[in-house]
Structure 1
Amino acid sequence: MAGIFEYFVVCGLGPEVRTLDGNKGFHGMGVMYLASLLDQYPPSNHSLYPPPPPQLPTCVLPAGVEFYSSGFDSNDVSTFPRSYPIVLTEGDGSKIYVSCIAFRDPVSDDIAEAYRIPPNSFADKCICLVSRLPSFCMLRNALEELFALCFSPTGSSKPLWDVIEYMVSNVPLPTPGKDRVLFAIENCLLSVEAPPKEGLPHADISFQPLVECLDVDNLITFFTAVLLERRILLRSDKYSLLTLVSEAICHLIYPFRWQHVYIPLLFFSGVDYIDAPTPYMMGLHSGVDTSNLAMDGVVVVDLAYNRITTTEEIPPIPEPDLSSLRGDLLKLLHPNVVGIDVMKASFGNSSEQYPKVGNKPWGEDHDLQLR
């Protein structure tokens, strides 16, 4: 039986401590270290499941593993756990969807003693749910429930690994055209539906981050660059934004498909990939320095500053299509501005009502209209 979840995985500091440069041993707190696969379910000796992708530890902790002198501090937001999705692409073009929660975990006494790491140190650790189903919201909710159980003062009513084993082994993929699949994690009920066979492709994401990071003109420029199959680099200091915006723009170009290199969240040590000559779409944390790269022809989409830069001109969409698209986007995103002069009450004996304007909270209807 094919299940929603392929793996539950734990990644972090392995028994052999190495820097990202490959140097063995502990070289201080300010150095980044290689992540390793620490634990998984199903176990590695399970014959019915292929092993997790070998690049998984590097991708789920894209900056590497960092050491800290302290753990979680409720007064310091930089110590809070981080929840974010990543997407991996296999050689045949199929995608693997991973929900991640990274947090500071105490370094074991054995490793600290073996590598002379200061006592009471902490290091990055990441728990992950791996799936073939692009259900970003469900994956995040399920993993956050597991994380809460793991660190809850009262714990779980069952051993945590029993809960994980049940999820991975017994929650089936939903069947198209049938009822949704329901499953529980402790007292939390979750559900997932099969993607519809007809209509637009399934998208279990909100397009709101995309339209909040980029204004209408930059959104159109970004859209055009994707259609022209340029080399595209997204920058943000939020891992989630890089993945969600990349996924959103790929949905917006339907019925076309992005068929080139696709790495929504590039691991920091892979920064040289940006010099690749072929089309790609990659996301890179804004803290990574790219000043030593040529960047010729790369379309850099800065999500933090609503800015797009490139050394090569991006030709505009021809008129009148450009004006029509821009007008439709403005109506959707800024209805109060577009319709500010529209009289909102009916007049005479006419039953016709001019469209009412307002700022409804962003929802699935907005996503559908945008697509």
Structure 2
Amino acid sequence: MEGQVGGRMLRLFRNCLPRLRAGSLQDNLRDSGKEPERAQEHCLPAFAGGQHFFEYLLVVSLKKKSAGADYEPTITYQFPKRENLLRGQQEEEERLLGAIPLFCFPDGNEWAPLTEYPRETFSFVLTNVDGSRKIGYCRRLLPAGRGPRLPKVYCIISCLGCFGLFSKILDEVEKRHQISLAVIYPFMQGLREAAFPAPGKTVTLKSFIPDSGTEFISLTRPLDSHLEHVDFSSLLRCLRFEQILQIFASAVLERRIIFLAEGLSTLSQCIHAAAALLYPFSWAHTYIPVVPESLLDTVCCPTPFMVGVQTRFQQQVMDSPMEEVLLVNLCEGTFLMSVGDEKDILPPKLQDDILDSLGRGTNEPQTSEQLNEHVSGPFVQFFVKTVGHYASYIKREANGQGHFQERAFCKALTSKANRRFVKKFVKTQLFSLFIQEAEKSRNPPAGYFQQKILEYEDQKKQKKSREKTVK
């Protein structure tokens, strides 16, 4: 996935953002291009799982404040415009749309018109109080034109994590916006009415562009869905394998981790990659790939967090009263601050296994999917070896409700080093949330992790069989 904000952070927005007056969004959109009447929200067909591609397409532009030279990000285009919402829904939507501009321009309000600006693709995630998550996929660039001008952001809000696919959608939005806002509408309406494809499947959209004719756009979802939200290439360019392993170790014990880089794309991609290494577990704490300037106090939080900060705010971060933290400079490939025990968290033998696996075949050309599998695989295998036996230690009642036998689970590990690590890991929220879901299900989920567990158990059986034959 490529800032994800816990419920605590969204409550912070409610306090730190001005309450939007009724109709204030319409005021913000007054200068935007007119949409056809059909752009108003209407009933959509129901699809399996209720998964649609997106909830909103927004254009966020910089508008000069009435006083001073600063600019503030403002939503200047919204599709679709929702109507007939209940009061509670309307208030929640206004809070959401009020927070989004902060994350589209997290680097403050001191801007000036530019003639050149490198396009950046990044993302953020907002987690609501009820635990539901919305992902913002962003493309920031200079609009077409001559002379100095201000960058703007195309932002697609969706509940679905698939960064490669949404990057392609942003390409199509950008291409159409160069012509006219009105040209975006038919494409996005077609996308909104299409069902999100299953892993490995493709959805094809028919779209007309003036002077180009009818185009057919194919959007394919990766077959391996557990890595569809991540690209490890940026992380590998910035850090050595040993450093990535130490970041992983810190994340496994739910510590505080700060990434520094200037580019929004680099921050976004690297922090999503670091979080993806935790699969099949999910980071449930504060998680903001690019922290807006107004929320930099997040680094003072005493609870676990994983956040990205632009290097222009490095000194401000360093001067903040922080508790034990791992501070990673992605531009320099160094740790500016650390707890000091990061190399000792994981069992030594398993650390060596991860590094050996990562080092094999890295110089050979690989597709993005192959690279993701190459990097993710050793970390998945780490969890297979340490906690892959969890299902055997869930005792079930007659009604199917399971109860995890933690003590017996830990004692089942023959390696003292592995057992020492697992005794710490089972106390984390990462593991607790995972095991709570496992207790509810009669059978282990038939996913990628379970597949690797079965493969590992089969390998152990074959090894025992060979050893008996030799004897």
The reply on whether 1:63 has 2:107 as its aligned counterpart is yes
Q: Would the alpha carbon gap of residues 319 and 161 (structure 1) be closer, same or farther in structure 2, given more than 3 Å must change?
A: closer
The reply on whether 1:7 has 2:34 as its aligned counterpart is no
- Aligned position for 1:270: 295
Q: Would the alpha carbon gap of residues 142 and 327 (structure 1) be closer, same or farther in structure 2, given more than 3 Å must change?
A: same
The reply on whether 1:181 has 2:203 as its aligned counterpart is yes
* In structure 1, C-alpha distance between the alignment counterparts of 2:311 and 2:245, rounded to whole Å: 22
Q: Would the alpha carbon gap of residues 178 and 46 (structure 1) be closer, same or farther in structure 2, given more than 3 Å must change?
A: farther
Q: What's the C-alpha RMSD, in Å, of the aligned pairs?
A: 2.9
Q: Determine if contact 1:195/1:202 at 8 Å carries over to the other structure.
A: no
- Aligned position for 2:351: 322
Q: Determine if contact 1:224/1:314 at 8 Å carries over to the other structure.
A: no
The reply on whether 1:331 has 2:360 as its aligned counterpart is yes
Q: Would the alpha carbon gap of residues 193 and 63 (structure 1) be closer, same or farther in structure 2, given more than 3 Å must change?
A: same
* In structure 2, C-alpha distance between the alignment counterparts of 1:366 and 1:256, rounded to whole Å: 20
- Aligned position for 1:170: 193
Q: Deviations over 1:13-50 (max 9, x none)?
A: 35xx54xxxxxx3423xx4x332222211114364987
- Aligned position for 1:259: 284
* In structure 1, C-alpha distance between the alignment counterparts of 2:222 and 2:365, rounded to whole Å: 28
* In structure 2, C-alpha distance between the alignment counterparts of 1:247 and 1:184, rounded to whole Å: 32
Q: Would the alpha carbon gap of residues 43 and 228 (structure 1) be closer, same or farther in structure 2, given more than 3 Å must change?
A: same
* In structure 1, C-alpha distance between the alignment counterparts of 2:177 and 2:277, rounded to whole Å: 38
**Count of matched residue pairs:** 310
* In structure 1, C-alpha distance between the alignment counterparts of 2:185 and 2:322, rounded to whole Å: 49
Aligned AA (1:7): Y
Q: Would the alpha carbon gap of residues 321 and 121 (structure 1) be closer, same or farther in structure 2, given more than 3 Å must change?
A: closer
* In structure 2, C-alpha distance between the alignment counterparts of 1:121 and 1:210, rounded to whole Å: 33
Q: Would the alpha carbon gap of residues 184 and 65 (structure 1) be closer, same or farther in structure 2, given more than 3 Å must change?
A: farther
Aligned AA (1:89): T
- Aligned position for 2:374: 369
Q: Which of the numbers 313, 321, 337 marks the counterpart of 1:310?
A: 337
Q: Determine if contact 2:139/2:154 at 8 Å carries over to the other structure.
A: yes
Gap runs ≥5 in structure 1: 19-24, 107-119, 335-358
Q: Determine if contact 1:332/1:370 at 8 Å carries over to the other structure.
A: no
Q: Determine if contact 2:127/2:133 at 8 Å carries over to the other structure.
A: yes
- Aligned position for 2:38: none
- Aligned position for 2:74: 36
Q: Would the alpha carbon gap of residues 13 and 320 (structure 1) be closer, same or farther in structure 2, given more than 3 Å must change?
A: closer
* In structure 1, C-alpha distance between the alignment counterparts of 2:223 and 2:126, rounded to whole Å: 20
Aligned AA (2:72): L
Q: Determine if contact 1:4/1:172 at 8 Å carries over to the other structure.
A: yes
Q: Which of the numbers 158, 162, 166 marks the counterpart of 1:135?
A: 162
Q: Deviations over 1:326-353 (max 9, x none)?
A: 222211435xxxxxxxxxxxxxxxxxxx
- Aligned position for 1:123: 150
Q: Would the alpha carbon gap of residues 325 and 104 (structure 1) be closer, same or farther in structure 2, given more than 3 Å must change?
A: closer
* In structure 2, C-alpha distance between the alignment counterparts of 1:362 and 1:214, rounded to whole Å: 20
Q: Determine if contact 1:12/1:38 at 8 Å carries over to the other structure.
A: yes
* In structure 2, C-alpha distance between the alignment counterparts of 1:179 and 1:333, rounded to whole Å: 29
The reply on whether 1:87 has 2:109 as its aligned counterpart is no
- Aligned position for 2:233: 208
Gap runs ≥5 in structure 2: 1-45, 209-214, 377-471
* In structure 2, C-alpha distance between the alignment counterparts of 1:267 and 1:185, rounded to whole Å: 36
The reply on whether 1:227 has 2:252 as its aligned counterpart is yes
- Aligned position for 1:159: 182
- Aligned position for 1:148: 175
* In structure 1, C-alpha distance between the alignment counterparts of 2:361 and 2:283, rounded to whole Å: 25
- Aligned position for 2:398: none
- Aligned position for 2:365: 360
The alpha carbon displacement at 1:58 in A equals: 0.8
Q: Deviations over 1:46-84 (max 9, x none)?
A: 649873723111111112444424x43xxx4xx244332
Q: Deviations over 1:99-151 (max 9, x none)?
A: 21223469xxxxxxxxxxxxx87434222111111111121111122212222
Q: Determine if contact 1:89/1:263 at 8 Å carries over to the other structure.
A: no
Q: Would the alpha carbon gap of residues 82 and 46 (structure 1) be closer, same or farther in structure 2, given more than 3 Å must change?
A: farther
2:52 aligned counterpart, secondary structure = coil
* In structure 2, C-alpha distance between the alignment counterparts of 1:80 and 1:178, rounded to whole Å: 32
* In structure 1, C-alpha distance between the alignment counterparts of 2:188 and 2:84, rounded to whole Å: 13
* In structure 2, C-alpha distance between the alignment counterparts of 1:91 and 1:206, rounded to whole Å: 28
Q: Would the alpha carbon gap of residues 279 and 185 (structure 1) be closer, same or farther in structure 2, given more than 3 Å must change?
A: farther
Q: Determine if contact 2:268/2:308 at 8 Å carries over to the other structure.
A: yes
The alpha carbon displacement at 1:165 in A equals: 4.6
- Aligned position for 1:338: none
Q: Percent of aligned pairs with the same residue?
A: 21
The alpha carbon displacement at 1:7 in A equals: 0.6
Q: Would the alpha carbon gap of residues 224 and 4 (structure 1) be closer, same or farther in structure 2, given more than 3 Å must change?
A: same
The alpha carbon displacement at 1:87 in A equals: 2.5
Q: Would the alpha carbon gap of residues 330 and 194 (structure 1) be closer, same or farther in structure 2, given more than 3 Å must change?
A: closer
TM-score with structure 1 length normalisation?
A: 0.74
* In structure 2, C-alpha distance between the alignment counterparts of 1:324 and 1:233, rounded to whole Å: 26
The alpha carbon displacement at 1:177 in A equals: 7.0
